[in-house]
Amino acid sequence: MAQTPAARIAVNGVSHDYKGDPRRSLLDFLRRDFGLTGTKKGCDHGQCGACTVMVNGRRINSCLTLAVMHDGDEVTTIEGLGMPDSLSALQKAFVSHDGFQCGYCTPGQICSAAAMIEEIREGWPSFVSVDVAGHARLDDEEIRERMSGNLCRCGAYANILAAIKEVMESGATS
């Protein structure tokens, strides 16, 4: 086997040199190498969104990307958004709106929502936008469509929606 090039990856502001088997997904790297177990492995095939993290500010499925491909990237996980003594606005809103039951999808939901709020700020359209060239409405249908990459088996969607709306309407940093 050829020598695998190294990758320097910053996770929540801490740099880590990744070396080793190139098969390791970013998800397994975060959980095993970094011990950041907030990011969850659900389907491991990009279908459920439980592994959602932000890379350079954009949300992705960490299960469907190789750690070694992230040389120079900045990864933000749920731990980087807020810890129990420093909850982010979205984390607080998920608690106050009861936006989960078992909690397994929650880190992915919150990372996804944080990135979604930024996408809306930048004017990105969605499939349900009436005019893709125009400004997006910030209604329930838009948020549901934009959050469709995150499944919740408990069916806490109504409360997840309420939590996200509260943060968006308050204009707080997510």
Partner 1 sequence: MKAFDYARAASLSDAVGAPACLIAGGTNLLDLMKLEVETPSALMDITRIGLNEITAEGDGLRIGALVTNAACAADPQVRQGWPLLSRAILAGASPQLRNKATTAGNLCQRTRCSYFMDNRSACNKRRPGSGCAALGGINRNHAILGTSDACIATYPGDMAVALAALDAQVKIEGPGGSRRIPLREFHRLPGDDPSRDNVLQPGEVITSVLLPAPVEGRQIYRKVRDRASYAFALVSVAAVLRIEDGTIVQAQLAFGSIAHKPWTDPRVDTLLVGERPSKALFDKAADLLLEGAQGQGGNDFKIPLARRTLAAVLAEATAE
Binding site for partner 1 (CB under 8 A): 1-2, 4-5, 21-23, 25, 44-46, 49, 52, 58-61, 64-66, 68-69, 71, 112, 115-116, 119, 122-127, 129, 131-133, 144-146, 148-150
Write down the least CB distance from residue 61 to partner 1, Å: 5
DSSP 131: -
What strands, in cross-sheet order, belong to the sheet with 52-55? 14-18, 7-11, 74-76, 52-55, 58-61
Write down the least CB distance from residue 132 to partner 1, Å: 4
Write down the least CB distance from residue 2 to partner 1, Å: 4
Write down the least CB distance from residue 118 to partner 1, Å: 11
Q: Which is nearer to partner 1, 83 or 138 (CB)?
A: 138
Q: Which is nearer to partner 1, 87 or 104 (CB)?
A: 104
Q: Which residues, 6 or more positions from 144, have their beta carbon under 8 angstroms from its beta carbon?
A: 157, 161
CA distance 70 to 63: 13
CA distance 11 to 27: 12
Q: Which is nearer to partner 1, 23 or 153 (CB)?
A: 23
CA distance 60 to 43: 14
